[in-house]
Amino acid sequence: MRGQFAIGGSYEQAGSHRRRVGQYRLLRIKANTLVMSGRYDRLNTVQDGQECASLISDVQVVEMKRSGHFPNVEKPTIYVTLLHEFLACW
């Protein structure tokens, strides 16, 4: 049963469905949006952030060059500065 759900279907099918649902939700975002990606994030890569941003109409994308998955912990001063700059644009 490895790779199968009890209700039938593979993990790959479930992942594909989640991706489509996620894309649909991103397309519905109408608010100004900030997408931050850490260059050394192995879970959510910079490319992942760019792909998400491409589905949002009003988006600002920032790559934190010296950060991984937790830029708010790893580089808090830069993180807060970027948030303040983004929110000041409203």
DSSP classification of residue 4: B
Where in the chain are the domains?
1-30, 32-88
Sign of CA dihedral 37, 40, 41, 42: positive
* Token couple for 16: 């594909």
In order along its 90 residues, the chain shows pLDDT tens digits of: 444 444 444 445 556 767 787 888 999 999 999 999 999 999 999 999 999 999 999 999 999 999 999 999 999 999 999 999 999 987
Helix, strand or coil, per DSSP, at residue 60: strand
Please list the residues that pair with 33 across neighbouring strands.
59
Q: How far apart are CA 34 and CA 86, in angstroms?
A: 7
Cα torsion through 57, 39, 86, 50, rounded to 10: 0
Q: Are 68 and 74 in contact (CB under 8 A)?
A: yes
- pTM (global) more than 0.85: no
